[in-house]
């Protein structure tokens, strides 16, 4: 029986220093294709590059966009333009990628924000688009802890308080937040079509202070065979590699290539 074919994409934020001009984009997309990625999630491109032009450069390189990260300010400024850009890119998924947590002062502020996300998800669904939320680690802050026990994380409250909004878990950030990625995959089963794969190691810079740092997949601490199996069980369709920076080599093309080879040879993706 044939194995189900999953899409493996490069999250382009890791290549942001190579995406500042149209000429940069054309070259970078061809290099991304060469290191093994047939799909991409759009993020980190020069602000003045139209979505239709990005799509053409991706097509010319043989790389298909399967989603995008678009900041919350753009949703608020011009929702119709976000929808138009998604259609121009030819994608079905758009994620809110990051928040300034300092702007939410109270739990009531967070709940209001979650209602805003759900509104986008419901309206975008009418346009054939799924709105997702991409987490970092601050969403694992707990509210309602009493006597050192109980409480709920912001991410729990987000998904308990919404239904149309899709999850786009970043498994590396789940682990960085102190939680078990496998359990979180199960929590959002059925509402996570796309997932972010990110690994962590320890870096000791010149100041001698050891710090967690991004690593290529298979070169860090996460158990990818277990996590990919859990994602398949949860209904994930697309696996998206993201590595925000590359301390080990300084070269995103090298480290994204390591991740792609690891997924192909060790995981079968």
What pLDDT is stored for residue 132 in this prediction?
98
Chain segment 97-137, per-residue pLDDT in tens: 999 989 999 999 999 999 999 999 999 999 999 999 999 99
Collapsing DSSP to helix, strand or coil, 126 comes out as coil
Which pLDDT band holds residue 221 (cuts at 50, 70, 90)?
A: very high
**How many other CB atoms are there within 10 angstroms of residue 67's CB atom?**
28
- Furthest-apart CA pair in the chain: how many Å? 59
Chain segment 126-167, per-residue pLDDT in tens: 999 999 999 999 999 999 999 999 999 999 999 999 999 999
- % pLDDT > 90, the chain: 95
**Mean pLDDT of the chain, nearest integer:** 96
Q: Quick one: tokens of 239?
A: 């696996």
Q: What are the C-alpha distances in Å from 169 to residues 67, 140, 227?
A: 14, 12, 12
- Model confidence at 1: pLDDT above 50: no
Q: Which domains does the chain have, with CATH numbers?
A: 7-267 (3.20.20.150)
Task: Name residues whose C-beta falls within 8 Å of residue 228's C-beta, 6 or more positions apart in sequence.
Answer: 239, 267, 269
What pLDDT is stored for residue 3 in this prediction?
58
CA-derived radius of gyration, the chain:
18
Collapsing DSSP to helix, strand or coil, 225 comes out as helix
Q: Pairing mode, if any, of strands 211-215 and 199-203? A: antiparallel
């Amino acid at each position: 029986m044939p194995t189900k074919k999953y899409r493996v994409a490069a999250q382009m934020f890791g290549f942001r220093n190579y995406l500042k001009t149209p000429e940069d984009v054309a070259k970078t997309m061809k290099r991304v294709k060469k290191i093994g990625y047939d799909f991409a999630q759009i993020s980190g491109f020069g602000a003045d590059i139209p979505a239709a032009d990005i799509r053409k450069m991706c097509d010319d390189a043989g790389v298909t966009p399967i989603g995008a990260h678009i900041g919350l300010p753009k949703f608020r400024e011009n929702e119709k333009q976000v929808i138009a850009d998604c259609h121009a890119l030819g994608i079905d998924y758009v994620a809110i990628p990051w928040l300034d947590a300092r702007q939410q002062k109270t739990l009531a502020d967070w709940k209001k924000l979650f209602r805003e996300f759900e509104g986008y998800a419901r309206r975008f669904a009418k346009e054939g688009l799924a709105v997702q939320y991409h987490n970092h680690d601050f969403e694992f802050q707990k509210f309602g802890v009493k006597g050192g026990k109980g409480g709920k994380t912001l991410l729990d409250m987000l998904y308990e308080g919404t239904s149309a909004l899709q999850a786009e878990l970043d498994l590396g950030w789940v682990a960085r937040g102190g939680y078990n990625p496998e359990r979180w995959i199960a929590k959002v089963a059925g509402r996570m079509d796309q997932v972010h794969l990110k690994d962590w190691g320890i870096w000791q810079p010149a100041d001698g202070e050891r710090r967690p740092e991004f690593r290529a997949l298979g070169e860090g601490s996460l158990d990818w065979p277990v996590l990919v199996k859990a994602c398949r069980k949860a209904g994930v369709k697309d696996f998206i590699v993201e590595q925000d920076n590359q301390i080990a080599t300084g070269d995103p093309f090298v480290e994204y290539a390591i991740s792609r080879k690891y997924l192909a040879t060790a995981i079968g993706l």
